[in-house]
């Protein structure tokens, strides 16, 4: 039922990759609907060109479809709804935020990614004030170099910490296996280790991300129950 959206107004930050990683992990244990709101439709193409997953359904919004209606409908049909948005600062991204239970803001840690992550987070905060509810969100570092912690990344971490912005402990490491999911239109579990390196490490990384998302959702659910009880 929770709707998790991936929003970052800049392209190439790893939105679709991290959305697919999470969707594929969750679909191992529950029904998942991905609303592929990116006109390039990377996840829809991934499904149509490959075998997809039985628990994973894709919805592609039409130009005039209301994202609110699509999310509401998907939440009734699936245990998890994941929204992958286009890398632009548009109204659909803004609407998606306000209908989400959790917003993941992917960032590679570069100055440009950080600027656009900040733009998204400022809009989330504006919308929280308007709709009168918290929109939980956190930055997810993506395409992170496994061996080297760059100065840019260190600066990005420092800036986020200074502003009290939540960051996922898990980082999506730059791995051939994640790219290969799209090249071969399959999941990490079905990649061929003779063709792609680092599959096991990618699987561990994907699982850690899913585990952290689930832990955050459970904790939010408990907090909501407690708030209802206190009220």
Partner 1 sequence: MDGQNRHDPFGDEDLLEDIASFEPKTSGWDKPRPQEEEVAKIAQARGFDNRAPVPKPVKEALRPLQFRLPASEVEAFHQRAYEEFGMSHGAKISLFRKMWKAYLASLT
86 three-class SS: coil
Distance, in Å, from the CA atom of 20 to the CA atom of 15, rounded to the nearest integer, reads: 9
**Residue closest to 124 by CA, chosen among 1, 3, 2, 8:** 8
Nearest approach in angstroms of CB 27 to partner 1 is 9
Phi-psi region of 164 (alpha: psi -120 to 50; beta: other; left: phi over 0): left
Nearest approach in angstroms of CB 195 to partner 1 is 24
Nearest approach in angstroms of CB 214 to partner 1 is 5
198 three-class SS: coil
Distance, in Å, from the CA atom of 29 to the CA atom of 25, rounded to the nearest integer, reads: 8
Output the furthest CA–CA distance in the chain (Å, rounded).
57
Instruction: Tell me whether residue 32 or residue 138 sits nearer to partner 1 (CB atom).
Output: 32
Instruction: Tell me whether residue 66 or residue 192 sits nearer to partner 1 (CB atom).
Output: 66
Chain contacts with partner 1 (rule: CB under 8 A):
1-2, 9-12, 25-26, 28-31, 66, 68, 72, 75-80, 86-91, 93-95, 98-99, 101, 112, 116, 119, 122-123, 126-127, 130-133, 147-151, 207, 210-211, 214, 217-218
Instruction: Tell me whether residue 183 or residue 219 sits nearer to partner 1 (CB atom).
Output: 219
Nearest approach in angstroms of CB 110 to partner 1 is 8
Span between the terminal Cα atoms of the chain, in Å: 23
Nearest approach in angstroms of CB 29 to partner 1 is 3
Instruction: Tell me whether residue 48 or residue 131 sits nearer to partner 1 (CB atom).
Output: 131
Distance, in Å, from the CA atom of 155 to the CA atom of 161, rounded to the nearest integer, reads: 10
Instruction: Tell me whether residue 18 or residue 85 sits nearer to partner 1 (CB atom).
Output: 85
């Amino acid at each position: 039922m929770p709707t998790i959206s991936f929003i970052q107004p800049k392209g190439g930050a790893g939105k679709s990759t991290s959305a697919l990683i999470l969707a594929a992990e969750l679909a191992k244990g529950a029904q998942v609907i991905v609303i592929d709101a990116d006109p390039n439709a990377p996840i829809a193409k991934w499904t149509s060109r490959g075998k997809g997953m039985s628990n994973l359904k894709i919805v592609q919004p039409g130009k005039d479809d209301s994202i609110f209606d699509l999310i509401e409908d998907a939440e009734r049909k699936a245990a998890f709804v994941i929204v992958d948005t286009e890398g632009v600062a548009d109204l659909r991204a803004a609407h998606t935020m306000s209908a989400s239970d959790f917003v993941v803001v992917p960032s590679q840690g570069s100055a440009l990614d950080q600027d656009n992550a900040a733009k998204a987070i400022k809009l989330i905060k504006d919308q929280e004030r308007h709709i009168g509810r918290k929109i939980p969100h956190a930055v997810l570092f993506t395409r992170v170099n496994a061996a080297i912690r760059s100065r840019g990344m260190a600066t990005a971490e420092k800036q986020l910490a200074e502003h009290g912005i939540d960051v996922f402990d898990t980082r999506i490491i730059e791995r051939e296996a994640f790219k290969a999911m799209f090249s071969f239109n399959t999941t990490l579990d079905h990649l061929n280790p003779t063709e792609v390196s680092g599959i096991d490490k990618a699987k561990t990384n994907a699982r850690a991300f899913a585990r952290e998302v689930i832990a955050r959702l459970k904790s939010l659910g408990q907090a909501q129950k407690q708030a209802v009880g206190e009220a």
